[in-house]
Amino acid sequence: MITLQNAFVRRYDTVVLSDLSLTIQTGEQWAIIGENGSGKSTLLEVLAGKWPIWRGKLTHDYGDVLLSKVAELVPSDYSFNRIIRSAAQYYQQRFHSHEAEVAPTVREVLTNQLKPVGTVDNHSVILPPNTISEADLLSTCQLLSIDHLLDRHFVTLSNGETRRMLLARSLLKKPQLLLLDNPFSGLDVHSREVLRNALAHLKEAGVTIVLVTSSVEIPQSVTHVVRLKEGRIISEEESLSETDKATFQPREVVPISPTYNFSLAVNLRNITITYSGKKVLDNVNWQIKKGEKWALVGPNGSGKSTLLSILTADNPQRFANDYDLFDLKRGGPSMWDVKNKIGHVSPELHLYFPQETTVFKTIASGFFDATGVYFRKLTEDQLQQTHAVAEWLNVGSLLDKLFKNLSKGQQRLVLLARALVKHPPLLILDEPCQGLDFAAVEHFKEVVNAVCDSQEQTLIYVSHYPYEIPSCVTQTLRLSEGVVC
């Protein structure tokens, strides 16, 4: 049992949680919901023993054992291990096969058999004892449907596959208290069902679970729901759908609609990408006319991000393929000319984005296709547009804050603003609503619809949730195992 009594929590100079009181009994499953920035992730960190109580009290029934030794907070990135962190060097790495191979395999990550990056002589490294039995490894991986990925290098996994790997790593520790921060983000329909079944299995096994999730993705195995707003518990009994609807307040959007001089934004001809003899994309053809709005859909690992990496000039195999962008044949425009015409956001960009950057500089870096750092002075128009797009996405009050001090949902909104700031002719929004609450999703869809209310604006939108796709989208390309279906 864990009890919070009138607990207040500060992060740096800001009170994030106020007067929280709740009791979590052994074997229960709790869902924490609420708007972005309401303190959900901070509450998980408190329960994990990673963030202290400022005022009030936290007690538990685990004896003299520190809560941090009992609880397991599933990581959202690679910062949990220095070797893994150094192996995942930059967000395009998964598309560079020779560099991806320096990273550990999924099996090595899950069993903690990690050799420092660049090891030449394997005998020179003394690995810790492998405490994970093969039976436990296989059963856990089968539970999360990643047993077929054990020998893959972890940086080559899709976003959804990576999240399941991180969960498997935590489950293999057999924690008494499991803490999950938005575990359904990035998962396709099948993977979400796999996770729901896994949570039901863990409930039967008596594992206490607390997860941050959205109000539309609360598993049936959850026994209690707590809703946060501005760091306070507002009601456990209140109707979730009605509360979400009440939270959403439409905001005026006044987009700018430049005129672009091209007919086809994208013309891909028989695109084929191969890694280690396996075709990740197999003869993909795709034409996108100026002004069209497309959804790109498919299960985790189907090749969506790889296909987009051709368009964003992040994949070295683009030189071996035949395609045109903005009516210009491959090899004509430089990589920076291509990027200048594209606004892009993706889970990988979020994962690797520099943390020590202000929100203002993060958004403004979109003008220069830099990752948060730039050296050119902004024009008056660029200054105004940076402020305008921040207001569109309701992050105008955060401009002076550091990116690292925002909630995950707020960070995602800032990266969305970065993608929109230069009014690019092609917007590529790859799972842009991960980590956003219902109101933020609805408002972002409103912004996208307004920005795309023009025959000049072209859009590619990726999501595993149909309700996240804005109404302006009228066409769909489906991928399955690298093939258009």
To which residue do tokens 């907070």 refer?
A: 73
User: Is residue 472 within 8 Å of residue 459, measured between CB atoms?
Assistant: yes
Q: Retrieve residue 115's tokens.
A: 């050799």
66-110: per-residue pLDDT in tens?
888 889 999 877 778 888 888 877 767 777 777 778 789 999 999
Tell me the backbone φ, ψ of residue 284, rounded to 5 degrees.
-85, 125
132-178: per-residue pLDDT in tens?
999 999 999 999 999 999 999 998 888 888 889 999 999 999 998 99
453-467: per-residue pLDDT in tens?
888 999 999 999 999
**Residue 293 and residue 224 share a domain:** no
Question: What whole-number distance in Å separates Cα of residue 52 and Cα of residue 10?
Answer: 8
Q: Are strands 224-229 and 29-34 parallel, antiparallel or unpaired?
A: parallel
Determine, yes or no, domain membership for 283.
yes
Q: Per-residue pLDDT for 326 more than 90?
A: yes
For 385-409, what is the mean pLDDT?
89
- pLDDT category at 241 given cuts 50, 70, 90 is very low
- pLDDT on residue 243: 41
Q: What Rg value do the Cα atoms of the chain yield, rounded?
A: 23
Determine, yes or no, domain membership for 85.
yes
To which residue do tokens 């029934």 refer?
A: 61
Residue that wins the pLDDT comparison between 252 and 205:
205
Note down the domain range covering 42: 2-117+129-247
Determine, yes or no, domain membership for 258.
no
Closest CA to 390 of 363, 361, 422: 363
Q: Retrieve residue 16's tokens.
A: 């994030």
**Residue 156 and residue 88 share a domain:** yes
For residue 375, the tally of other CB atoms under 10 A from its CB is 6
Domain boundary among 198, 219, 247: 247
**29-33, 85-89, 355-359, 423-427: which has the minimum mean pLDDT?**
85-89
Q: Per-residue pLDDT for 264 more than 90?
A: yes
- pLDDT category at 242 given cuts 50, 70, 90 is very low
Determine, yes or no, domain membership for 123.
no
SS percent in the chain: helix, strand, coil, step 5: 35, 25, 40
User: Is residue 214 within 8 Å of residue 33, measured between CB atoms?
Assistant: yes
**Residue 383 and residue 317 share a domain:** yes
Determine, yes or no, domain membership for 259.
no
Question: Which burial class, exposed, middle or buried, applies to 304 when counting CB atoms under 10 A from its CB (0-12, 13-18, 19+)?
Answer: buried
Determine, yes or no, domain membership for 253.
no
Total domain count for the chain? 2
**Residue 269 and residue 231 share a domain:** no
Question: What whole-number distance in Å separates Cα of residue 462 and Cα of residue 477?
Answer: 10
**CATH number of the domain residue 178 falls in:** 3.40.50.300
For 175-204, what is the mean pLDDT?
92
For residue 29, the tally of other CB atoms under 10 A from its CB is 24
**Residue 376 and residue 462 share a domain:** yes
User: Among residues of the chain, what percentage have pLDDT more than 70?
Assistant: 93
20-76: per-residue pLDDT in tens?
999 999 999 999 999 888 999 999 999 999 999 999 999 998 888 888 888 999 987
Is the sign of the CA dihedral 416, 418, 424, 428 positive or negative? negative
**Residue 194 and residue 86 share a domain:** yes
Sheet holding 55-60: strands in order across? 14-24, 2-11, 55-60
**Residue 144 and residue 232 share a domain:** yes
- pLDDT on residue 332: 64
Determine, yes or no, domain membership for 79.
yes
- pLDDT on residue 265: 95
Question: What whole-number distance in Å separates Cα of residue 154 and Cα of residue 141?
Answer: 14
296-323: per-residue pLDDT in tens?
999 998 999 999 999 998 889 998 999 9
- pLDDT on residue 123: 79
- pLDDT category at 375 given cuts 50, 70, 90 is low
To which residue do tokens 């991806």 refer?
A: 100
- pLDDT on residue 296: 97
Q: Retrieve residue 157's tokens.
A: 């996994």
**Residue 336 and residue 287 share a domain:** yes
- pLDDT category at 372 given cuts 50, 70, 90 is low
Question: What whole-number distance in Å separates Cα of residue 2 and Cα of residue 238?
Answer: 23
Question: What whole-number distance in Å separates Cα of residue 315 and Cα of residue 168?
Answer: 29
Q: Which residues of 409-443 are buried (b: 16+ CB within 10 A; e: fewer)?
A: bbbbbbbbbbbbbbbbbbbbbbbbbbbbbbbbbbb
- pLDDT on residue 240: 43
- pLDDT on residue 331: 63
Residue that wins the pLDDT comparison between 10 and 96:
10
Q: Retrieve residue 134's tokens.
A: 């093969």
Q: Spell out where 12-159 has E strands.
A: 14-24, 29-34, 55-60, 71-73
Closest CA to 173 of 143, 132, 210: 132
**Residue 442 and residue 405 share a domain:** yes
pTM: predicted TM-score of the whole model, two decimal places: 0.83
Domain boundary among 190, 216, 247: 247
Closest CA to 483 of 307, 287, 293: 307
Is the sign of the CA dihedral 70, 74, 78, 79 positive or negative? negative
Determine, yes or no, domain membership for 252.
no
- pLDDT on residue 245: 42
Question: What whole-number distance in Å separates Cα of residue 157 and Cα of residue 407?
Answer: 25
Contact partners, residue 170, CB within 8 Å, separation at least 6: 72, 73, 74, 75, 178
Domain boundary among 247, 273, 304: 247
Q: Per-residue pLDDT for 330 more than 90?
A: no
**Residue 424 and residue 282 share a domain:** yes
**Residue 372 and residue 333 share a domain:** yes
- pLDDT category at 257 given cuts 50, 70, 90 is low
Q: Are strands 55-60 and 2-11 parallel, antiparallel or unpaired?
A: antiparallel
**Residue 235 and residue 109 share a domain:** yes
433-443: per-residue pLDDT in tens?
887 888 778 88
Residue that wins the pLDDT comparison between 184 and 237:
184
- pLDDT on residue 266: 96
Mean pLDDT of the chain: 87
